[in-house]
Structure formats: structure tokens, C-alpha cells
Structure 1
Amino acid sequence: MKDLFSGHATDYARYRPDYPDTLYQWVFQHVQHFDKAWDCATGNGQVATVLAKHFREVEATDLSQAQLSQAVLLPNIHYQVSPAESSPFDANTFDLITVGQALHWFDFELFNEEVKRVTKKGAIIAVWGYELLTISPEVDAIILDFYQNTIGDYWDDERRHIENQYADVPFPYRNIKKSVFLQSYDWSLTQLCLYLNTWSSVRKFEKANGYNPIEALHDRLIGVWGSSPTRLVTFPVFAQLGEV
């Protein structure tokens, strides 16, 4: 698993979107027991903090200590640095495993073996990610051009798994279900650019070229943003779950 986000963990915690309540409700309705959950690649703990409201105990792991240092501390969440593919947990431990916007970075075969080792019989694994945001046809066209042409060469190969909604990612579980949820925000142009600046490809572009491409993108977007200080920004969140 790659660690691409330690270098801007604070921005990641501030500006990355979270996930809609409807997603969690969909996951929880398939869970049989609410004793112990593992949020794998927890980042700043945004998923773990939701799980903590429903589970007696939550284990939350990530490769990045910098990310974990941004997490909200709760008495029933235990954070620790650990790779997804080789966790410190005992066999037959978890009722639910979640992976938000991170599965595409894993070694799939090793992670699936680890999932089967640490889950209880009948446990659920739920994974999800969000696609390119939408705002309006005019704004979307500029962002898509930036995504494909300005920083396209700086995306890691794993990005393709987000683009095809994990269609090529092995998911060897039973009773698989899939759904898409929408998460929306009223964002200013500044908030939008702060989010775009958290993209790993933007950071790689800046390192390679010596300047940040978001500044020029901001200038392009001003012309089509309109008079409203904020616009509705929508993230499609694709999700799938299965029984281990």
C-alpha cells in the first residue's frame, strides 16, 4: 500500500469530503452484530468516528502517523499505524471492515486474505470511493480538462480503479451488493480549489514543475463560476459490500 498523503495531512483533514449518512445506513442494515469494527486506511478517522457511534469498539489503522495525528479521539476508537495487508489483530475479531477511498492502493490478494483471517463468520466488508465531482456543465468541463490534460500524467496507475468504480478489483465475497450515494456541499471557489489541491497528482505536478497548477485553474474557473459566492458541489460515492 502506498502512502501519498502524509505530506499534506492537515489539508486532507480539512478539505476532503466525508460520506453521506445514507451510505452508513445502507452498510449497517447488512451488519448482524455491532461488537467490533475495523476501519482500514482510516486516514484522519472520519469513518471511524461514525462507526464509534454504533460499535462497542473500533480499530482504526493507517500507514501514515501524520494522518492519524489529525484524527478525532474517542474512548472506543483505537488508532495505530499498520499496513492493510498485515494487521496486528487476532483471528475472528471483526463484525465489519470498512475501507473508504483507499482500496485501490492495496495489494488485493494479501488484503483479502487478511480480511478472511480477522473477521467473524458472517461479517461484512464494505468499501467505497468517490468519483470526480460535478457542479455545472461549464465548470465540470474545465475541471475535466485539468484532470485529464494538465495533471493526467501525474496520476498513479491505481487511479483507474476509481474511474471504473472498482470493477477490476477482486472482491471474493458472498451476496455482493452495490450502490451509489450522493454527497453535496455548498462550496466557494476557494473551498473547491483547496480540495483540488489535496489531489496527490497536483502535489506530484508541483514537485516536478516547480509551481502549483491550481492557481491557473482558479483563474479559468472564475470566468464560469457566476455571481453566487457558493455553488452546489456533488460527489458520487460508489460503494459495494459483501459477506465474508
Structure 2
Amino acid sequence: MNSPDAERKNWFDQGGQAYARFRPEYPPALAAYLASLVPDTALAVDVGCGNGQLSKLLASHFEAVAGFDPSEDQIAHAAPQENVVYGCAPAEELPLPSRSASLITAAQAAHWFDLPRFYAEVRRVAAPDAILALVSYGVLRLGGELGTRFEQFYWDEIGPYWPAERKLVDSGYSTIDFPFSELQGPPIAIELEWRLEEFLGYLSTWSAVRSAREAGREDLLHRFAADIAEPWGDPTTRHSITWPINMRIGRA
């Protein structure tokens, strides 16, 4: 039987702060690994930084971090940190001096870029032997019946509402042009234990969910929420969720 609470509550109407609240955090191991590759730790630049999830991790390893995103709303929700500065700017036009950045990252963002223009900008701002890292995390993994129902939702139900660029994320950016001397990164994953509210709150940040709502398919979303609530059990129960991290890393 479906949970009455899950049917009544609009889990997908989380408001403008949902991205900052529910997006999974990158593990510290990711920032530590990227920092181990660079020629120096003077400046890291996080492009398409969103609310600064990766920026703040890089701050532990670099003297200064600059995070840029074209969305003023995302920058407004970035948590202040002493050696991190944020600004609104597109990936293709970074307000930085030439040859200034030792590390340039783009986490869960490169699929939105004009890649030839972005790569030209990377070459301009990169210090000698700088590192470029395009980071993405794949489709989340849940165990058992939860995983089976989620995969049906992801691929078959919400799938048609994803923008075409999402396929690049699903492939770990493996199909994009990457004209740099490439390095192979170690296996790293995001591993969390979430309550039902956190899980569905994360889904509410998806562009596909927004598109489905705009298309009048709230029924699809509510049906999934009710279906997943039954095998989830008590909504406060925490279930293990894993996202594999994919990286394209090169010397710029």
C-alpha cells in the first residue's frame, strides 16, 4: 500500500534553495587528488561552480579559489569562505589574467558550455602545466527494490524530460572532445545515507523534474514519490546512496 503521507506532500515543490540544500557534496578525496596534480597551489578556478560545493573543498588545498557561475541565484547561495571569491561569469569569458590558474575545474557543468570557446579560455588562463578537470557524477545507485523502482523512473518515466545534454553526464563525458594530454584518475564516489525527504529533495533539483512539471506531468512525480515510499519504510530511515564520480583530466 502506498504511503498516504507521500501522496499528500508535494516533495517536488522545494523552492529556490533546494539546490544548495539537497545537492550531494563531493568527497574531500576528490579535491585532494586534483591538488596533488598541479604545478603549484596559488590559484584554483571552479567554473560553473553553482553554490560552491567543489570550490570550498579546493580551498583547503589552494591559497586562493575563484568560483564563477552565470547564475546570480546560485552565487547568492554560495557559502562564504575566507580564501574563496565568487563571481557571475560564463565559462567562456572568465574575468582572470592570462596564465594565472594552476587548476581549472568544471563540476557537473561542462555539458552546458560552448566547449571550443571554453577550451580556448582554459588555454588562456592556465599557468604552465596547469590541470583541467571536467568532473561529473553518474546516475545514483540504490540497493534492492528501491534501486529497481528508481531506475524505472530515471530511464523510462522522467527520461524523456531530460535535455539532450544530460546524455553527456550519463556517459561521464566520455564522448566529448577533450584536446588535452589526458590523465587517468582513481575511482572515487560520493557515498551518503539519506532520509526520504533528502532523496526526493535532490530529485526536485533536476531540470527534468522542472520540465515535467511545466508539461503538466505532476502526476508522474507524485506517483513515483508514493511508489518509492513503500519500500523506503519509515521516511526518517536512512538508506545508502552512491554516485560514481567520472573525470576527464588533462594538462592544459
Q: With structure 2 as the length reference, what TM-score do the two structures score?
A: 0.89
Take 1:160 and 1:210, find their aligned partners in 2: how far apart are those partners?
Answer: 22
Take 1:226 and 1:130, find their aligned partners in 2: how far apart are those partners?
Answer: 27
Partner of 1:130: 137
Partner of 2:201: 194
Please, which of 182, 187, 194 is the counterpart of residue 180 of structure 1?
187
- Indicate if the aligned counterparts of 2:45 and 2:105 stay in contact, CA closer than 8 A: yes
- For 1:1-244, what aligned pairs fall within 5 Å after superposition? 9-209=16-216, 211=218, 213-226=220-233, 229-244=237-252
Q: Considering Cα pairs closer than 8 Å and 6+ residues apart, tell me whether 1 or 2 has the greater RCO.
A: 2
- Indicate if the aligned counterparts of 1:154 and 1:202 stay in contact, CA closer than 8 A: yes
Q: Identity of paired residues, percent?
A: 32
1:48 CA drift (Å) = 1.1
Change (3 A) 1:224 1:183: same
Partner of 2:10: none
Q: With structure 1 as the length reference, what TM-score do the two structures score?
A: 0.92
1:12 CA drift (Å) = 0.3
- Indicate if the aligned counterparts of 2:142 and 2:241 stay in contact, CA closer than 8 A: yes
Matched AA of 1:233: I
Q: Output one character per residue of 1:85-120: Cα deviation in whole Å (capped at 9) or x when no partner.
A: 111212111000011111111111111111001111
Moved over 3 A (4+): none
SS at match of 2:218: coil
Take 2:220 and 2:199, find their aligned partners in 1: how far apart are those partners?
Answer: 14
Take 1:212 and 1:203, find their aligned partners in 2: how far apart are those partners?
Answer: 13
Matched AA of 1:240: R
- Structure 2 gaps of 5+ residues are 1-13
SS at match of 1:121: strand
1:18 CA drift (Å) = 1.1
Change (3 A) 1:8 1:108: farther
- Indicate if the aligned counterparts of 2:173 and 2:248 stay in contact, CA closer than 8 A: no
Q: Output one character per residue of 1:52-110: Cα deviation in whole Å (capped at 9) or x when no partner.
A: 22211211100100000001112322211100011121211100001111111111111
Change (3 A) 1:140 1:112: same
Change (3 A) 1:179 1:161: farther
The number of residue pairs the alignment matches comes to 238
Q: Output one character per residue of 1:133-161: Cα deviation in whole Å (capped at 9) or x when no partner.
A: 11113111211111122211110000111
- Indicate if the aligned counterparts of 1:48 and 1:60 stay in contact, CA closer than 8 A: yes
Change (3 A) 1:210 1:146: closer
- Structure 1 gaps of 5+ residues are 1-6
- Indicate if the aligned counterparts of 1:179 and 1:238 stay in contact, CA closer than 8 A: no
Take 1:168 and 1:24, find their aligned partners in 2: how far apart are those partners?
Answer: 24
Moved more, 189-198 or 174-183: 174-183
Q: Output one character per residue of 1:204-229: Cα deviation in whole Å (capped at 9) or x when no partner.
A: 10011162643221211122224681
Moved more, 88-97 or 177-186: 177-186
Moved more, 107-116 or 68-77: 68-77
SS at match of 2:24: coil
Take 1:109 and 1:80, find their aligned partners in 2: how far apart are those partners?
Answer: 22
